[in-house]
Amino acid sequence: MIRDQLKLRFPGMVFPEKKYRFISTIDIDNAWAYLEKGFMRTTGAYARAIFSFNLNEIVERTRVLLGMEKDPYDTYELQFELQRKFKFKSIYFFLLGEYGLNDKNVPIDSRKFRSLIKSIADYAEAGIHPSYGSNKNPSRLKKELNELSKILKREVTKSRQHFLVLKLPETYRRLIELDITDDYTMGYALQVGFRASICSPYYFYDLDNEQITSLKIHPFAVMDATLKYYMKIDPAAAMNHILPLIDEVRKVNGDFVSLWHNESLSENKIWEGWRKVYEDMLAAAS
């Protein structure tokens, strides 16, 4: 509507042609449920399971650690199969922060974890997932970014904040200082939809400095955790909330960006039924 009004006033104005795009993004907050957690964390987990009489977890953890069973969060081959089937590529964001209350991924010194990052980056784009702790300690972000660059042996320019923590304009300014060019944090945690009221990427405008920056913002429309944890949607009803978003984005030739996690594809415990939701979304959005 704005475009049409501008054309009436300025007939010579040319607008670029846009095409609909589907962009799948995956956050790796916890690469494995049981593997590579270290002696102390594993011992503590066993103790909690024993005190709560959770026999199923004890058995499953033991079988995984003994190599008798695949770790439930190891859904990476499935993800690659789906990428080949629906002919798309994902962007992966890796959490490399120090262990803390809200940062509980595998330690960065794990050879298996570093190998996983390299193997995924062979098939897809990779970005940093700045830790929750880095919000209060900016030096951590630089360290995490450098670690990922060393692993990949190339510059990292994409980012998404862990827990979608955004403090404006400070967060974006820190990313710009570290040469991040594309951020995928802009979206709701509590609700699906368009937090920036737009489904196309745009450059962050620094109001304080009255300046267009080099940081491109990519809004996402739907997150698995939003549907399950906050909206408390049953898997059978999830597509009723996703399909209208896809349709709206197609109407304006925008980018439909989804946010998923490796564990939500596991069919393990609380995530039973959500793998089909992801596959149905891919079929509709690709």
Residue range(s) occupied by CATH 3.20.20.370 in the chain: 10-33+71-285
pLDDT for 1? 86
pLDDT for 123? 87
Q: List pLDDT tens digits, range 12-48.
A: 999 888 999 999 999 999 999 999 999 999 999 999 9
Fold adopted by 10-33+71-285: TIM Barrel (3.20.20)
Q: Which residues of the chain have pLDDT under 70?
A: none
pLDDT for 87? 95
CA angle 68, 72, 77 (to 5 degrees): 95
pLDDT for 78? 97
pLDDT for 3? 87
